[in-house]
Structure 1
């Protein structure tokens, strides 16, 4: 097989935790495993080196940046170090350049470099709705910003793709016609194998007959955290045997810690091994988000044999194809969430069937080998 070189621009990358970060890391790993040379260009962050070579052989350049909005919006800091590092990256030839997401200024850096090197960049959309920060005025400004920066992105005429069908439809909002899917995926066996020995049921005193519901993700308004807590309050008053274990961090952490509900346990941010252990012990996973690209947390939960309950956003319908695989909520209201969890708690046979079918679907359809094949084809198509 011919050895090729690819660059992946991702505004945020590990050790920062998020879906796009894991997507970039896993795609880079798969390409490197096949013998290709991979360069990841990300934004600098505290306690991360500006340059490193990962254990899988992937080179990572972290360009100087300003971390705005609590680190959610990195902005390139165009100083001498920035220019030096970018010159090093752009001094090489590439067989393809991938730019993850269109709404970061960092993305424009990747698009501009591709144009300078005479390449048509591949742009991958990871969202399916406008960014939201839970603040009406800020969210209104974000809408205007997204349209402005997307207009700049379109000047570089990238070949556009998305991680989900919803993402492809979302690009139409900006007058962009996508060429196909570059789906989020998972190495299910590897994820399950890394599970720690932590016993959450024993640690938290979960009753044997209780439905253990997991939530793993950013504790932010767009994730439906408030509605989920309200739904658990309803179930607690009804005496439904269900317990919610919430893992993560974010601006609503205080709300979770102080909710005062006996059927909600907060375990803070977890490492990958503990996340896998939690999902292997859970009966259901709840994701009542207002917006998702293609949830990594949902893929992880499904691969562990957990029945999913999620809103119809991002790639949810591609994982939960019908009600034999889980429950897709009509909306993220507390009543909808409570109704779904009430059903799973009362019909454990149905819960187990959903978990089994969804796990089989994820393992069959969402592998990094498939995504890497699609990416390589996208790069070859862009060069024609």
Structure 2
């Protein structure tokens, strides 16, 4: 197939990583893939493999008309059988252009389970996406939660399919040597239990509740240490650090910032915590579990579906429940040891591997292209 895939950018993010993995994988399977960023590329452009890249250079929201024309020009020149658009900025532009390219099948990629954290412009974009969704030949959500939201937003139900995200189990694998080196860098002793929150500094990730839960757990678990991995706005980061000091977490909590060595980060952890109030299909759980790290997660998006019986799910925004869940997971680790990590790894290989996601996506695209 000739496939054009579009996305706002290739800056690091969950949807962007899945986009790059799909473009790489589909091109490796012999399809002709053109990856298009509405703005400029980003670091993940290096992960596209054999897929070509076109950057449309969007400068601001006022540049939409020029970008629309440029995207239309690419569709005309490339004549793809499929236009697979990721995220609302791309899906809306794809739908506007769809009537002018009847031989190109439009596939909308839905990567979120709700509209939380969006401003007025973002909410308007979601409304446009829903209204234009009948112009799509297929809508692929990456989570059951996302599919349910699409139904609430009145997307055509007969065109909705779910393909869960996939994790590269060859990259994200147990590697205790890498983990031990990072623990040493952070000053974490071998007999301490390191619990990590891996997320950008954003209110939707609810670091506030994680910090409260950490403070509660620290009182009853002297061996527990905590680390926050991820970057964000400096003023928000400063407020979180002040909050942590106020909760008495100095000496127990590490602020690691952004890291490039994510497999090493996961392998340094004994347990991972997802405290988010909003998620679709959280990649961080896939990556941690693929490294053999068990997780406690809030009941956001498809978190419970990902964990299965390997971890614990607690209500969002409840610090006491989160602290209790983390304590229960640490106790389970004491009982089961490496067996629990092996169960996490086996679940990822069986249910959420990258080849499984690629095969499911390829089958749907073949179907909508009439192959």
Spell out the pairing of 1:1-384 with structure 2 (5 A cutoff). 4-13=1-10, 16-45=11-40, 56-67=49-60, 76-79=63-66, 83-84=69-70, 86-101=72-87, 103-104=88-89, 106-118=90-102, 119-132=104-117, 138=119, 141=120, 144-145=123-124, 148-176=127-155, 177=157, 178-192=159-173, 197=178, 199-251=181-233, 252-258=236-242, 259-260=244-245, 261=249, 262-271=251-260, 274-322=261-309, 325-347=310-332, 348-350=334-336, 352-384=338-370
1:296 to 1:151, Cα distance in 2 relative to 1, 3 A:
closer
- In the alignment, the residues of structure 2 paired with residue 87 and residue 204 of structure 1 have an alpha-carbon distance, to the nearest angstrom, of 51
1:181 to 1:311, Cα distance in 2 relative to 1, 3 A:
same
1:366 to 1:327, Cα distance in 2 relative to 1, 3 A:
same
Q: Does the Cα contact within 8 Å between 2:117 and 2:204 map onto a contact in 1?
A: yes
- Displacement, 1:376? 2.2
Number of equivalenced pairs: 358
1:345 to 1:8, Cα distance in 2 relative to 1, 3 A:
same
Worse-superposed segment, 222-231 or 149-158: 149-158
- In the alignment, the residues of structure 2 paired with residue 194 and residue 308 of structure 1 have an alpha-carbon distance, to the nearest angstrom, of 17
1:110 to 1:142, Cα distance in 2 relative to 1, 3 A:
closer
The alignment's TM-score, normalised by the length of structure 2, stands at 0.87
| Structure-2 residue corresponding to 1:70 | none
Q: Does the Cα contact within 8 Å between 1:308 and 1:355 map onto a contact in 2?
A: no
Q: Does the Cα contact within 8 Å between 1:290 and 1:332 map onto a contact in 2?
A: yes
| Secondary structure, counterpart of 1:227 in structure 2 | helix
- Displacement, 1:335? 0.8
Provide the alpha-carbon RMSD of the alignment: 2.8
- Displacement, 1:186? 1.1
| Residue ranges of structure 1 left out of the alignment (5+ in a row) | 68-73
Worse-superposed segment, 327-336 or 304-313: 327-336
| Structure-2 residue corresponding to 1:71 | none
Q: C-alpha offsets along residues 39-80 of structure 1, whole Å, 9 cap, x if unaligned? A: 11113248779xx8866121112222235xxxxxx674434x
| Secondary structure, counterpart of 1:301 in structure 2 | helix
- Displacement, 1:256? 3.6
| Residue ranges of structure 2 left out of the alignment (5+ in a row) | none
Q: Does the Cα contact within 8 Å between 1:240 and 1:345 map onto a contact in 2?
A: no
- In the alignment, the residues of structure 1 paired with residue 69 and residue 199 of structure 2 have an alpha-carbon distance, to the nearest angstrom, of 35
| Secondary structure, counterpart of 1:132 in structure 2 | coil
1:359 to 1:288, Cα distance in 2 relative to 1, 3 A:
same
- Displacement, 1:228? 0.2
| Secondary structure, counterpart of 1:12 in structure 2 | coil
- Displacement, 1:167? 1.3
Worse-superposed segment, 307-316 or 256-265: 256-265
- In the alignment, the residues of structure 1 paired with residue 30 and residue 356 of structure 2 have an alpha-carbon distance, to the nearest angstrom, of 16
**Which structure has greater helix proportion?**
2
- Displacement, 1:183? 1.6
| Secondary structure, counterpart of 2:170 in structure 1 | helix
Q: C-alpha offsets along residues 105-140 of structure 1, whole Å, 9 cap, x if unaligned? A: x3222233443221331112111121315xxxx4xx
